[in-house]
Chains A and B, each alone.
Chain A
Amino acid sequence: MAAGRMGGLCGTNFEDPFERNPLTLALSPSRGEGTKQRNKQDPTLMQIRSQVSMVFHLDKCIGCHTCSVACKNVWTDRKGAEYMWWNNVETKPGTGFPTKWEDQEKYKGGFERNDDGSLSIKSTSKKKIIPNIFHNPHMPSMDDYYEPWTYDYQNLFTAKEGSDQPTAGPISMIDGEKIDVQSGPNWDDDLGGSEIYAANDPNLAGLTEQQRLQLSSVERLVFFYLPRICNHCLNPCCVASCPSGALYKRGEDGIVLIDQQKCRAWRSCVAACPYKKTYFNWFTGKSEKCILCFPRLETGQAPACFHSCVGRIRYLGVLLYDADRLEEVAKLPDDELVEGQRSLIMNPHDPAVIAQAKKDGISDGVIEAAQNSPVYKFVMEWKIALPPHIEYRTLPMLFYVPPMSPVQASKPEDTIHHNSNNLFHDIDDSRVPMKFLANLFGGGQEGVVRYALAKQKAVRWHRRAETVGDIDRATADRMLHEANCTREEADAIYKLTALCTYEERFVIPPMHREQAIEMMKEPHEHRAETGFGFVGGQTRGM
């Protein structure tokens, strides 16, 4: 055990979620057979942990970037971090930030499943780190993000007298030189249909020519927004790749953090995170990432991006999961990953699960938070929230409700008819091709996405029948039935989607003072220390 290496750090310990059964999980074609025999439904054989998880409801996102700005103001508005967007909002289809981050042929992020069923890190696995520690072959450079700039305002005052008005030209925030701005944050904002951005979205793989045209046809082009933060994965590739062991997952709440005192700038995490949500601070020579505003969570407040969200698209709550089966699930074939991840998540109302959770040291307050978790409802009860790119095999714990908008169907002759079965178009006629959403949220599988969208559609039919009344009840009920939904469930979805209060959206578990890793501090003090808990602030190495 490497516990000794931690030295004075609060007596914390390393521990491995895979530790319990390291050998039994080698995946044979007959999965589960010949390995440790056990009933997956029996909670007494599990190791239950809690994870602060998230849901973003994409139909509600208006792309205002308030979340990004809130995060920027609190955490990354400082030297070396100017280019970082721990929270960013992308236009889809689009290339995102950093450019084409989803193209793992280029970035080599995430895990890959070997022929023998084992997993290895795509970028620098243990074997590959030794020859590559001096120069990481898959490290993105600043040009893949953008060079941060400001404006030369002084020139407005100091320019020599001339025939033109002086201007405040852009200058680089790195070297202070004049800069020809070629890209920036949200450079492709709202550029659905563009040849440079939208057309290069890696999620367009596997779409037919007609489907691609459908996304970009003039006057009918489609885009939606994808807000992104760190997914605080169950099987984080960044953590797995760190040669220094500086990255870790907090045992109590699953927040993934980088120990700034232990990071030595080997850069592996930046290359390994398939979501490109670890960033390299070019000034301090350390990697940084979203900390899920743990200083706020520990004081009962929602993270800044959640709190500030104008569209109220964000939900936060606890999920209980079985840590023993993580590796087994991470090794499943692509088409079984979404279901596999769900199978890890335990029902917090099940008395047996509660008993085992208590045995595994989860406090009553956290269990109660898990029972009220909006995330559990979206992901497990209603099954309308899906993980992004689960094929990267990091088991992300941020889930997205796939967007139905725009509601108009792809058929050119389609118009909205009242009292018609086409009031809300058929899901497969959506102008956003199902395949595109499946590439994003279904690990390529359309089934889970279709299920989520069909249920949302049914909710709309149901509420239309209830509130407007121009749809007969039988049609609405048929829609509900087809979507595997009841009236009660539809009302609950409607309520949590449209009428949700702050307390319903954010069910923050009590992170007991004695459980908090970092001592409580005045928020501004935290900010001065970059949230990383320094004594005397951070100074760059000599």
Chain B
Amino acid sequence: MNARPMDQFLFIALPYVCLFTFLLMTIYRYRQQSFSYSSLSSQFLENKQHFWAVVPFHYGILAVTAGHLIAFLIPRSILAWNSHPLRLYILEISALVCGLLTLIGLISLIARRGTTTRIRKVTTVTDWILFAMLLIQTVSGVAIALFHPWGSSWFATNLSPYLWSIFKLNPDVSFVTAMPHLVKLHIVLAFLTIGFFPFTRLVHLLVIPNPYLWRKTQVVRWYGRKSE
């Protein structure tokens, strides 16, 4: 492995630092400051633009993230799907649409936070840094979709093995060193976002999975009595 030091730093050291920060700090924060795990919704302060910003952003980013995750987990199936051009086009266009949805939502979110004085009061420096990171990340993602097409395929062939090598603790940067700069930026920023994640309101993502849909309607807590 004769990667340049810069590549080693960006694609080996940084990912590990970020992933461990994510792992340790989310757990630490949950245990020490469970109170701070909140979506910190601002719908109460501004209820009209909220819909048009929050909804497209969330649906967009969830779809896009899910897409990345699927390509990471089952690259062969993605390649098999893409073996037919029409299916490839459908996948690429849907991904682009979701990316644009995210971008539109994100810009609306930023505009909403910036222009509503009430909401500016509950917006922290962390929020603005996160907005900047997400904006660059989304713009670069959309740009990649436009200028480096068929990403669903080359993600599966190149980036998925790279990510797996990270998780297998046997990092191999040869998959990413040849990538265009835009893609490299997207990868580095992705890891930075993961590392920054525990220090932001993004933690609400971790507390979504809950048994609401399965739990019984009412909740009763007893003290000193076991559940019957």
Contacts and interface: CB of A to CB of B under 8 A. Distances in A.
Interface of A: 1-3, 5-6, 10-19, 22, 126, 129-130, 133-136, 139-143, 172, 174-177, 235-236, 239-240, 242-245, 247-252, 260-267, 270, 280, 282-286, 361, 514-517, 534, 538-542
B178 interface: no
A18 B35 contact: no
Contact of B41 (A172, A174, A267): A267
A539 B221 contact: no
Interface stretch (B51-59, B96-104, B158-166, B182-190): B51-59
B225 A361 contact: yes
User: Which 5 A-B residue pairings sit nearest by Cβ, starting from the closest?
Assistant: A16-B216, A251-B222, A541-B36, A141-B47, A285-B40
Contacts of A176: 121
Contacts of A126: 212-213
B39 A236 contact: no
Interface string B197-222: 00111011001101111011111111
A176 B117 CA distance: 9
A177 B117 CA distance: 9
Contact of A139 (B34, B44, B212): B44
B219 A541 contact: no
A135 B207 contact: no
A136 B203 CA distance: 20
A431 B91 CA distance: 70
B222 A15 contact: yes
B120 interface: yes
Contact of A240 (B58, B121, B218): B218
B20 to A, nearest CB: 19
A17 B220 contact: yes
A517 to B, nearest CB: 5
Given A175-B117, A542-B124, A542-B200, A245 B34 contact: no
B80 to A, nearest CB: 30
A243 B39 contact: no
B92 to A, nearest CB: 26
B81 interface: no
Q: Among A176, A242, A265, which residue has the most Cβ atoms of chain B within 10 A?
A: A265
B220 A280 contact: no
Given A141-B45, A541-B40, A282 B122 contact: yes
Given A13-B221, A517-B221, A534 B50 contact: no
B148 interface: no
Contacts of B200: 542
Contacts of A235: 218
B224 interface: yes
Given A13-B222, A13-B226, A283 B122 contact: yes
Contact of A267 (B35, B43, B201, B215): B43
Contacts of B225: 13, 251, 361
B33 interface: yes
Interface of B is mostly: loop
B33 A249 contact: no
B220 A174 contact: no
A172 B116 CA distance: 14
Interface string B18-62: 000000000000000111111111111111001100110011000
B215 A2 contact: yes
Given A175-B121, A282-B45, A542 B55 contact: no
B222 A541 contact: no
A241 B54 CA distance: 21
Nearest to A16: B216
A247 B40 contact: no
Given A135-B50, A264-B207, A539 B35 contact: yes
B43 A141 contact: yes
Given A134-B55, A286-B38, A539-B35, A245 B212 contact: yes
A13 B227 contact: yes
Interface in B103-126: 117-118, 120-122, 124, 126
B97 to A, nearest CB: 18
A539 B34 CA distance: 10
Contact of B219 (A10, A177, A249): A249
A142 B211 CA distance: 30
A142 B219 contact: no
Nearest to A13: B227
Contacts of B51: 135
A540 B223 contact: no
B45 A142 contact: yes
22 contacts: A3-B227, A6-B221, A12-B222, A18-B217, A19-B228, A129-B212, A130-B213, A139-B43, A141-B45, A174-B45, A242-B212, A243-B210, A245-B212, A249-B218, A249-B220, A251-B223, A264-B207, A265-B41, A284-B38, A517-B221, A541-B201, A542-B201
Contacts of B55: 134-135
Interface in B172-196: none
A252 B222 contact: yes
Contacts of A541: 33, 35-38, 40, 201, 203
Contact of A251 (B46, B203, B216, B220): B220
Given A129-B212, A141-B44, A517-B223, A265 B38 contact: yes
Contact of A12 (B58, B122, B124, B223): B223
A2 B51 CA distance: 33
A284 B37 CA distance: 10
Contacts of B38: 263-265, 284-286, 541
A261 B36 CA distance: 8
Contacts of A240: 217-218
Contacts of B213: 126, 129-130
Contact of A141 (B46, B59, B215): B46
B43 A250 contact: no
A126 B212 CA distance: 7
A174 B218 contact: no
A12 B16 CA distance: 38
Nearest to B58: A134
Contact of B221 (A140, A143, A251): A251
A174 to B, nearest CB: 5
Given A10-B223, A126-B212, A539-B35, 4 more contacts: A11-B224, A13-B225, A16-B218, A247-B219
A6 B226 CA distance: 13
A142 B44 contact: yes
A134 B205 CA distance: 12
Contacts of B59: 134
Contacts of B117: 175, 177
A240 B215 CA distance: 10
Contacts of B218: 16-18, 235-236, 239-240, 249
B221 A542 contact: no
